Amino acid sequence: MTSKFTISRRDFLATTAAVTAMAGVSMPKFAFGKDNVVKIGFLAPLTGEVSAWGKPGLDGCKIWADWVNADGGVKIGDEAYKVEFIAYDDEYDPSKARTGAVKLVKEDDVKFVMMLGGDPWPGAAPIAEKENMLFSTLLPSDLSPETELLVAPCEVHPIYNVTGVEWLAENKPELKTAVVCAQDDSLGKPSVATYLAAFEAAGIEVLDEPIFFDPATTDFAPLMSKMLALKPDIICLDTCYADYVHPLVEQAFQQGFKGQMISCTADFYEKLVEKTSKEFMEGFIFQFPDFDDPAMNAEHVNFNKPNDFYSEYVKRYGKGEWSAVSWEYASIMDLWADAAGRAGTTEPVKVLEAMKVGGTGRQAFGEAKWWGKELFGIDNALVGEWPVVAIKDGKAKIQDFKSIPAWWEKHSDLMIKHMKALNQMYYQRG
């Protein structure tokens, strides 16, 4: 059945304005009236153990808004609009996400809502459907055929984790075995399935079953001892929260691990270097770069002025506060502003149509395609290249940009196999 949210490229180009706000292209300044304000909802964990994937993103959005508003705002139709973010702390809880979604949409009159996603999404989903409101998530595993107004236009968790394993296998072929651990939740499970598929594709044996630990765990010494007893070449920390990654890495250091470590994230890694050593953290692989990295100036990168953005972030919030999500929500706003400008309206369905026209989009790290039907049941994830990052001499450095679609074309059967085994396919989820 054809979706009600579709428009042909020919029809779109015939009825909308030309692109005015592509990332990296200077925009003409427009004077917005005092009543010309478009409100954007920010519904994410701002406190608690998952706040490292919420609060830093809101901080990044404040920089984005300051820059855009100082440049005259977002041009939509014949008017220029100031952008204002309205935040609500969902505390990574679905009931609070529902309350927040109702407030943002019904009371604050936002035109777009950005979420981390995961456990809170089911709380917000009925509001998105009832109010025809466009939402975004950093977790494409939230997607399903029923989520037509939910998009994953920036982060493609957990699929990008295949790139770190692929790079590791190409550059350190002597590593033959791995162990995997993760918290037992909606972030950990699909990520474990992804790492299992990536290790199998790379010919790396996973020793024993992945270890799923209770999210309430506070003592990680026994968990690390159990993993080290298997004598792995690689310890994989999956998509563990920062509050888990740090004690796990410290335990690996204290218990004498000398091998390779890989993780989806390494938020606040400078503190890990301080707690362990430069030597221990050397070569630690993860997926999220510092934006002062010279590699971020590559021609294919679409994020606007990444080095300046990182510098401003550090100036405002401190060097050790940069996290995986500091730039992500701002990157989503680039796509939203561009789509609203081309659609000539902030009406959510029209913005979505403009965002997806032609089947491609300017994702932060390059041109990408709207994808996901085989894995999520809907092509609402923007997928392209993703960086592989390693800590070198105490500093995160991009090692390469690897293609997610290229990996998928070769190994999709493995991904689907492991997702099914952990009941993570869209038709298996509750």
Question: pLDDT of 83-113, one tens digit each?
Answer: 999 999 999 999 999 999 999 999 999 999 9
- Write the burial class of residue 334 (CB in 10 Å: 0-12 exposed, 13-18 middle, 19+ buried): buried
Q: Could you tell me the CA-to-CA distances from 8 to 251, 334, 336, 349, 353 in Å, in that order?
A: 55, 22, 19, 14, 9
Per-residue confidence at 320, pLDDT binned at 50, 70, 90?
Answer: confident
pLDDT score of 369 more than 80: yes
Are the CB atoms for 335 and 112 separated by under 8 Å?
Answer: no
Q: Are strands 366-371 and 395-403 parallel, antiparallel or unpaired?
A: unpaired
Between CA 318 and CA 316 the distance in angstroms is 6
Q: What is the CA radius of gyration of the chain?
A: 21
pLDDT band at 358 (very low <50, low <70, confident <90, very high): very high
Residue 165 pLDDT > 70, yes or no?
yes
pLDDT greater than 50 at residue 238: yes
Q: What are phi and psi of 230, to 5 degrees?
A: -85, -5
| 402 confidence band (pLDDT: 50, 70, 90) | very high
Please give the Cα distance from 282 to 303 (Å, whole number): 28
Task: State the Cα–Cα distance between residues 251 and 276, nearest whole angstrom.
Answer: 10
Query: Residue 24 and residue 60: Cα distance in Å, rounded?
Result: 17
Is the model's pLDDT at 364 over the cut of 60?
yes
Q: Max alpha carbon distance in the chain (Å)?
A: 66
Give the contacts of 169 (CB within 8 A, at least 6 positions apart).
175, 202, 203, 204
Q: How far apart are CA 393 and CA 400, in angstroms?
A: 17
- Residue 3: phi, psi to the nearest 5? -65, 150
So what's the pLDDT on residue 357?
A: 96
Crossing angle of helices 221-228 and 242-254, in 10° steps, is 60
Which one-letter amino acid corresponds to residue 58?
Answer: L
pLDDT at 27 over 60: no
Question: How far apart, in whole angstroms, are the C-alpha atoms of residue 342 and residue 358?
Answer: 13
What whole-number distance in Å separates Cα of residue 33 and Cα of residue 22?
23
Query: Model-level pTM greater than 0.75?
Result: yes
What is the reported pLDDT for 249?
Answer: 98
pLDDT of residue 18: 36
Q: What is the pLDDT of residue 319?
A: 83
CA-based nearest residue to 213, from 242, 230, 246, 189: 189
CATH of 160-292+388-422, one of 3.40.50.1000, 3.40.190.10, 3.30.1280.10, 3.40.50.2300: 3.40.50.2300
Non-local CB neighbours of 212 within 8 Å, separated by 6+ positions: 181, 182, 183, 184, 188, 189, 192
What is the average pLDDT across 221-233? Answer: 98
List, in sequence order, every residue forming a beta bridge with 285; answer none if it has no partner. 262, 390
Q: What is the pLDDT of residue 32?
A: 52
Residue 11 has pLDDT above 70, yes or no: no
Tokens of 394: 């105490």
- What's the CA gap between 159 and 143, in Å, rounded? 13
Strands (E), 260-394: 260-262, 285-286, 360-363, 366-371, 381-383, 385-392
pLDDT at 248 (0 to 100): 98
- pLDDT of res. 16: 38
Domain boundaries, the chain: 37-157+298-385, 160-292+388-422
Q: Per the structure block, which two tokens stand in for 263?
A: 């993780």
| Confidence (pLDDT) at 429 | 81
For the record, the structure tokens of 108 come out as: 């604050």
Contacts of 13 by beta carbon, 8 Å cutoff, 6+ apart: 357
pLDDT, average across residues 271-275: 97
Residue 34's pLDDT is: 59
Range from 4-8, 309-313, 321-325 carrying the lowest mean pLDDT: 4-8
Mean pLDDT of 141-149: 94
Of 19-28, 34-43, 297-306, 418-427, the range with the lowest mean pLDDT is 19-28
Neighbours of 327 (CB within 10 A): 28
CATH topology of domain 37-157+298-385: Rossmann fold (3.40.50)
Question: Does residue 22 carry a pLDDT above 80?
Answer: no
Q: What's the angle, vertex CA 338, arms to CA 408 and CA 372, rounded to 5?
A: 20
* The pair of three-digit structure tokens given for residue 313, joined into one six-digit string: 């972030």
Asked if the model's pLDDT at residue 419 lies above 70, the reply is yes
What pLDDT score was predicted for residue 3?
A: 43
Q: Is the predicted pLDDT of residue 5 greater than 50, yes or no? A: no
Phi, psi dihedral angles at 25 (to 5 degrees): -110, 130
State the pLDDT at residue 430: 65
pLDDT confidence band for 169 (50 / 70 / 90): very high
Q: Is the confidence at residue 114, as pLDDT, over 70?
A: yes
First to last CA, the chain: 23
Dig out the tokens for 28 from the structure.
Answer: 């003409």
Q: Measure the CA–CA gap between 47 and 70, rounded to whole angstroms.
A: 29
- Residue 19 reports pLDDT greater than 70: no
Residue 21 confidence (pLDDT) above 50? no
* Contact criterion met (CB below 8 Å) for 128 and 97: no
Residues 6+ positions from 234 with CB-CB distance below 8 Å: 168, 175, 177, 178, 179, 204, 259, 260, 261, 262
Kind and range of the H or E run holding 204: none
Question: Is the pLDDT confidence value at 314 over 60?
Answer: yes
Mean of pLDDT values over 281-310? 97
How far apart, in whole angstroms, are the C-alpha atoms of residue 187 and residue 55?
18
Q: For 52-90, what is each residue's pLDDT tens digit?
A: 999 999 999 999 999 999 999 999 999 999 999 999 999
pLDDT at 35: 72
Query: Which of the four pLDDT bands, split at 50, 70 and 90, describes residue 10?
Result: very low
DSSP 59-88: HHHHHHHHHHHHTT-EEETTEEEEEEEEEE
